[in-house]
Amino acid sequence: MNKQKNLLVVHHTKSGSTMKMTAAIIKGAKKTNINIRSISALKASSADVFWCDGLILGTPENFGYMSGAMKYFLDEIYYDCLEKKEGLPYAIYVKAGNDGTGAIVNIEKILSGLSFKKIQDPVLVVGDLDKIALSRCEELGHLMAAGLIEMIF
């Protein structure tokens, strides 16, 4: 029998839009039988990353970059996780006011350095958050959870 899979969702928000996206991610993941840990980027640690089988990161775009809190999280876990969680499946979602590419590119550079494995292109929402965007987030949560359970990732 396969062990219960664990999904970690690390997020940061100030305006609330990223939190709405996070809620949709979790809603999608809950369609499966997976353990979910949703935690603020300022509170998450390498212990959380060691616990998980898959990671989803959510951030607003701040000044063309990821949020400072998300950068702090990645800085904090980097050396603890280096060469210890290679191949960890991950996905990203970004709420952007500009184009979001700076946030995505820089998160992906850091995760590439950790040898984590991207499971799909990021969910990027530029401008207003609508039902279609939230549906895409829900699909991402479900995809990650189902992929972990079925050992696709």
Residue-wise pLDDT for 55-106, tens only, equals 999 999 998 999 999 999 999 999 999 999 999 999 999 999 889 999 999 9
6-149, CATH topology level: Rossmann fold (3.40.50)
Question: Cα 150 from chain centroid?
Answer: 19
**Where residue 122 falls among pLDDT bands split at 50, 70, 90?**
very high
CB 25 within 8 A of CB 36: no
pLDDT value at position 2? 65
pTM value is 0.96
CB 116 within 8 A of CB 88: yes
